Amino acid sequence: MKKAIGLSLVAISLLATLSCVGAQQSKRIPRIGYLATDSRAPTRTTFKQGLEELGYFENKTIQIEWRFAENKLSRFPGLATELVDLNLAVIVAGNSLALNALRHATTMTPLIMAMYAGDPVADGVVASLARPGGNITGVIPLAPQLSGKQLELVKETLLKASRIAVMWNPDDAEARSPWEETQLAARALALNILSLDVRFQNELDRAMDTAKRTPSDALLVLRGLLRKQIVDLAKTYRLPTMFYANEFVEAGGLMSYGSNNMAQYRHAATYVDKILKGSKAADLPIEQPTKFELVINLKTAKQIGLTIPPNVLTRADKVIR
């Protein structure tokens, strides 16, 4: 009798243990990944804020595997593979280089674009914006279509400008469309453009020196991840700059025209939420911004000895003084 009671107690204890393990497994928080260039970029915080607005708090209701190349672009493929091997529920790509590395590492794990500077359909990333197909979806900023407007704003700011240096990476497939748009706009505005091919960080000094010696009246950056280096060099050479993202202006660049990148990273969190709730990336339409912002840094203008015309200044959505 005692033996039977003892066995019953052991069985009850075992069932209780298994029940606890099952409960813990059922409460296991989802694991997601995030791959970007710079761990210090404000977009990281913005993305987390977007998650928190949806009820996801790091290490409480969600676990985030952060990976950053820390401006060493050659690290992206290895970091992408590292994240994919963790069998995460979804991975967010903080920029085009991150996405390209991830899409070569997996066709199964859902991938969310927080920022993509090219045309994902023309580049073969997705089948269409309405129905992406495959494992990729997210938010895109319409960068190719904006480069012409950026050049137009440079011309309005520098009325006597005749030559604009354009910094881009010919090896970057996503930069080709903005480059073609820029060439068309330059012809329409009767501007000469100087192509500054920058593939690696150590080519920046040479490129900026070329822009100054040509000489060029301003610098248009179509795509660039080395934010601080480009901004600092432009100030050194006293070269007016136009960027595609307001982060460059926040860091000391002169002007930017484009979508609100912070809003895009916050919105990327909604895609994570949908994936975690069972949606498939293939069925989630890719969204585009409807509002574009002109940001001007008057502190930088003063440093390089430039006066922004009133008609341009009054159109700015944000002015840094």
Query: What domains does the chain contain, in order, with CATH numbers?
Result: 29-141+261-290 (3.40.50.2300), 143-260+293-320 (3.40.50.2300)
Answer yes or no: is pLDDT of 22 > 60.
no
pLDDT surpasses 70 at 224:
no
Does position 18 have pLDDT exceeding 50, yes or no? no
Contacts for 55 with CB less than 8 Å, ≥ 6 apart: 61
Report the alpha-carbon distance of residue 66 to residue 88 in Å, rounded: 12
State the Cα angle at 200 between 198 and 204, rounded to 5°. 55
Mean pLDDT of 175-196: 90
Range 52-60 average pLDDT: 97
Asked if residue 263 has pLDDT above 90, the reply is: no
Mean pLDDT of 190-216: 90
Q: Is pLDDT above 60 for 14?
A: no
Each residue's pLDDT tens digit, 145-173: 688 899 999 999 999 999 999 998 887 76
Strand 292-297 and strand 255-259: the pairing is: antiparallel
| Range of 40-54, 142-156, 161-175, 194-208 with top mean pLDDT | 40-54
Whole-number pLDDT of residue 40 = 86
- Model confidence at 26: pLDDT above 70: no
Can you give the pTM of this predicted structure? Answer: 0.70
Rounded to an integer, the average pLDDT of 5-17 is: 48
Q: Please count the other Cβ atoms lying within 10 Å of the Cβ belonging to residue 229.
A: 15
pLDDT over 70, % of the chain: 89
pLDDT of residue 225: 57
